[in-house]
Structure 1
Amino acid sequence: MFGGPPVPHRLTKELKLAYLSAAVALVGALCLFDLVLSLGVIRRLREQTHLINQLAASTTGTTAPVGATVEEFAATTTSGRVVSRASTEERTLVGFVSPSCAPCQELLPAFEGYARGFAGAVVSVVVGEPDEASEYARRLGQLGEVVVEPSGGPMATAFGVGGLPALCVVDARGRVVASSATVETLPTPVPA
């Protein structure tokens, strides 16, 4: 009637297969693109995490620098013993933590493990009110001496603590041998 070829109402098998192949190729390309983007995001997140950890380590847990001599101090431990700079042994590990400090809570198990293998005296300073510090004092008392003091107490002042957690190793003269916010950067403990 109208002249011209008839319009097919049904797609041929070859045409259906061509559409299906194109759709599968498009989905495959989108999946590959998504995979590449995901790997890029994961890599970037790892880099950011590393930078955040470095920043956290540089802004928390500061004590007097290595080589400095700790100021004179005297503090009474939970067992009633007085500790002072003069009472430090050849190697004394001093850790400053607080129950209200999230990084301290994360550090505590690693600190306990390190302190158990440390050849020398261990003094833990729990910063906070006595009632909130009691659990930390009990737990850390198994490792050595424990001092509970308020923020800015005599030991924190003598050691120049600028953030928590803070760890350091001092020698018998009160000289800082190592200082860190993590046990990973302290010297490897020498078995007793």
Structure 2
Amino acid sequence: MPAVVALVILLTVLCLLNLALVFGLLRRIRDIESRISSDQAATEPLLAVGAQIDDFEAVTTDGELLRRESLADGTLVGFFDPQCESCHENLPHFAAAARTQPRVRSLAVIRDDEEQEEMVSALSGVSRVVVERRRGPVARAFHVHGTPAFCRLGADQRISAHGYATPALA
């Protein structure tokens, strides 16, 4: 009989310890989830609205030298990665938006990749196109955090609107 009582007490202690560990893990998981969701909500695709882009120098696929001062008020800018599925989904929307304005008022920045040609050929007729390595001069000037990223420039090369989808700029 004393062995049965000792076994019941031992099992009770183990169950209480297990319960305490489960509640501790649940609290930690909720804390991590809240930090992740607040980080995602705080991340903007690029510079904040109203911020001026940094100086940069790049060459388009047509050989045109491009600088910050080359970007006029109202310029639509899109950042694409050939390995990004969402970039491919947004490409036709960006091209359609670029067609509604002069070619010099849109800029597509495509990450240098083996599969870039499809994007370059789809956009070069409607937009100026720059192909650059990851975190190249144009992406650094706009402080791009991920792709696809889109913005519209206002006066003095300041961001007037931005988003992860082209319709956000309408």
- Same fold, judged at TM 0.5 (above): yes
Within 1, Cα distance between the matches of 2:42 and 2:86? 12
Equivalent residue runs for 1:53-132 within 5 Å: 62-118=45-101, 121-129=105-113, 131-132=114-115
* Superposition map of 1:1-192 within 5 A: 62-118=45-101, 121-129=105-113, 131-187=114-170
Shift of 1:111: 1.3
1:61 to 1:150, Cα distance in 2 relative to 1, 3 A: farther
Partners of 2:73 and 2:157 within 8 A in 1:
no
Percent identical across equivalent pairs?
Answer: 36
Name the CA shift for 1:88/1:106 in 2 (closer, same or farther; >3 Å): same
Distance in 2 of aligned mates of 1:178 and 1:58:
17
Give ranges in structure 2 of 5+ residues lacking alignment: 1-37
CA distance in 1, matches of 2:85, 2:167: 18
CA RMSD of aligned residues (A): 2.3
What is the TM-score normalised by the length of structure 2?
A: 0.71
| 1:103-154 per-position Cα deviation (integer Å, ceiling 9, x unaligned) | 101111111112112466111001122x421221111101121000011100
What's the secondary structure of 1:173's corresponding residue?
helix
Distance across 2 between alignment mates of 1:118 and 1:140: 13
Q: CA deviation at 1:73?
A: 0.5
> May I ask how many residue pairs the two structures share in their alignment?
132
Corresponding residue of 1:45: none
CA distance in 2: counterparts of 1:100 and 1:112, whole angstroms: 18
Alpha carbons of 1:184 and 1:65: their partners in 2 closer, same or farther (altered >3 Å)? same
What residue ranges of structure 1 are gaps of 5+ in the alignment? 1-54, 188-192
Rg (Cα) greater in structure:
1
Find the aligned partners of 1:114 and 1:186 in 2 and give their Cα distance: 9
SS in 2 for 1:100: coil
Q: Which runs of 4+ in 1 moved over 2 A?
A: 57-61
Please, what TM-score do these two structures have when normalized by structure 1?
A: 0.63
Give 1:61 deviation, angstroms: 7.0
